[in-house]
């Protein structure tokens, strides 16, 4: 379909702010294609302002991991999911990849050799991080290693926390070695040990409100209650986060991120109760969002309910959650109904989901450009822009309107 010459002519005279608004509404794949059209477009798309502006309007994807395979699904098309397999940059020893965290469209992933990459799967750009180092105490056994990843806006930096956890089974004591990587320094530094024992070695840090969260306990005793600990990326220290008033930590729990809020899943007997902290740090703001009981088992088409992890909110009416590490299900907050997402058989029967936005954020720090030079460049390129450039933009927008933005 050819663009209307009058419309193209009018668009050629549009202010850069209007063109920026139009471009920001397109998915990453289309923006990358349009970047090669002319120098002016490339100047706009590569600017820090546009990358952050586009980030605020980005589409949300679900990254599914099955062993060493990673797939991307559009959250808006889960009624008819069409997963796209991603080609990650790490070697797959023992056929396994871990997703350590996600922030601003960047995934932090590792393999069993502890190679770590900071990777934007939609830009197809990555950065291999230097190895962290730890020393095992002579009398202790290596128990686990967990990570937490997040963006720190005050310093415009990305930080990765590593907690290596050791246990002395005879003395029932534990120790940890804590290291912090920052993208600005491209190096690790040692921090004081964490005075808590990890409850789950498989759970990576949950990033909410500038802090990374884990479920921990103070002592290695069977009757010791669990609690939530947060690592503040600003102060680089640990602190405890209050639980809901009716949750005492004596039942199985886990932490998650849901709709930008800290979330706790409590497993009491045959039921799971999902809580969200509406105001971060405020114990009174905890709210029980929903519960899953034995009555929902037949709706999920499986046996005993063993594991529930919330992943995303859909327009505030439905919650997408991971069930028994094998299925994705929706919970309708209005009706209480549960429905399962029909995933293609090729994905496998063991999955792990991570929510990730599609962004133009590179795995390097965004540089701050001189605004006057930026404006001069834009004016210069705008004078040289031709109708072919805008025809490409219109054709792309029309294409996405016809195909429902599936690419």
pLDDT (tens digit per residue) in 28-77: 999 999 898 888 889 999 999 999 999 999 889 999 999 899 999 998 88
User: How do residues 88-141 score in pLDDT, each as one tens digit?
Assistant: 999 987 778 999 999 999 999 999 889 999 999 999 999 999 998 777 777 678
Q: Are residues 396 and 288 in the same domain?
A: no
Query: In this structure, what CATH number is given to the domain that contains residue 154?
Result: 2.120.10.80
One domain, residues 227 and 135: yes
**319, two tokens:** 């919650």
CA 272/CA 305 separation, integer angstroms: 9
The two tokens of residue 161 are 């926390």
**Domain check: are 255 and 286 in the same one?**
yes
Please calculate the CA angle 113-136-138 and round it to the nearest 5 degrees: 140
Q: Give the pLDDT of residue 392.
A: 53
In terms of domains, do 214 and 138 share one?
yes
- Same domain membership, residue 213 and residue 85: yes
pLDDT of residue 152: 97
DSSP letter at 49? H
Does residue 205 lie in a domain region? Answer: yes
Q: Considering the domain boundaries, does residue 151 fall inside one? A: yes
Same domain, 264 and 383: no
Residue 5 falls within a domain, yes or no? Answer: no
Domain region containing 24: 16-52+367-400
Q: Is 9 inside a domain boundary?
A: no
Higher pLDDT, 96 or 193: 193
Cβ(199)–Cβ(216) below 8 Å:
yes
Q: Verify that 37 and 169 share a domain, yes or no.
A: no
| Residues 30, 118 within the same domain | no
Number of domains in the chain: 2
Q: Residue 57 corresponds to which tokens in the numbers above? A: 């309007």
Asked whether residue 2 is assigned to any structural domain, the reply reads no
pLDDT at 257 over 90: yes
Q: Which residue has the higher pLDDT, 245 or 369?
A: 245
Same domain, 230 and 278: yes
Both 145 and 105 in one domain: the answer is yes
Residues 83 and 180 in one domain: yes
State the Cα–Cα distance between residues 173 and 168, nearest whole angstrom: 5
Q: Which of 361, 362, 400, 399 is nearest to 56 (CA)?
A: 361
Determine, yes or no, domain membership for 405. no
Q: What are the residues facing 188 on neighbouring strands?
A: 181
Residue 114 lies in a domain: yes
Please give the angle made by the CA atoms of 316, 321 and 327, to the nearest 5 degrees: 145
Residues 6+ apart with CB under 8 A from 298: none
Q: Is residue 206 part of a domain?
A: yes
Same domain for 197 and 260?
yes
Q: Which residues contact 244 (CB under 8 A, 6 or more apart)?
A: 264, 275, 283, 286, 288
């Amino acid at each position: 379909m050819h663009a209307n010459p009058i419309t193209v002519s009018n668009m050629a005279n549009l202010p850069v702010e209007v063109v920026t608004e139009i471009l920001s509404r397109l998915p990453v794949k289309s923006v990358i294609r349009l970047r090669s059209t002319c120098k002016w477009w490339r100047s706009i798309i590569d600017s820090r302002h546009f990358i952050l502006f586009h980030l605020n309007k980005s589409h949300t994807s679900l990254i599914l991991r099955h062993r060493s395979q990673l797939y991307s699904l559009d959250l808006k098309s889960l009624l008819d999911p069409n997963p796209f397999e991603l080609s990650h940059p790490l070697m797959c020893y023992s056929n396994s990849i871990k997703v350590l965290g996600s922030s601003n469209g960047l995934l932090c992933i590792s393999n069993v050799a502890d190679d770590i990459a900071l990777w934007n799967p939609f830009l197809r750009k990555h950065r291999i991080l230097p190895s962290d180092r730890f020393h095992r105490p002579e009398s202790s056994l290596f128990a686990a290693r967990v990570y937490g990843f997040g963006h720190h806006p005050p310093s415009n930096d990305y930080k990765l926390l590593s907690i290596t956890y050791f246990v002395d089974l005879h003395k029932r004591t534990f120790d940890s070695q804590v290291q912090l990587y920052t993208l600005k320094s491209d190096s690790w530094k040692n921090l004081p040990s964490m005075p808590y024992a990890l409850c789950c070695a498989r759970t990576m840090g949950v990033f909410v409100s500038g802090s990374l969260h884990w479920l921990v306990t103070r002592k290695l005793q069977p009757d010791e209650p669990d609690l939530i600990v947060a690592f503040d990326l600003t102060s680089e220290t640990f602190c405890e986060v209050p639980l809901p008033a009716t949750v005492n930590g004596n039942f199985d729990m886990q932490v998650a991120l849901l709709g930008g809020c800290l979330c706790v899943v409590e497993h009491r007997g045959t039921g799971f109760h999902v809580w969200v902290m509406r105001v971060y740090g405020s114990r009174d703001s905890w709210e029980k969002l929903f519960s899953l009981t034995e009555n929902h088992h037949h709706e999920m088409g499986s046996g005993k309910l063993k594991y529930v992890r919330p992943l995303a909110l859909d327009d505030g009416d439905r919650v997408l959650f991971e069930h028994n590490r094998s299925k994705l299900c929706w919970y309708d907050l209005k009706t209480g109904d549960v429905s399962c997402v029909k995933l293609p058989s090729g994905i496998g029967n063991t999955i792990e989901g991570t929510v990730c936005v599609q962004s133009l954020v590179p795995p390097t720090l965004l540089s701050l450009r001189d605004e006057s030079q930026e404006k001069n460049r834009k004016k210069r390129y705008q004078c040289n822009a031709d109708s072919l450039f805008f025809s490409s933009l219109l054709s792309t927008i029309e294409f996405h309107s016809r195909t429902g933005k599936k690419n």
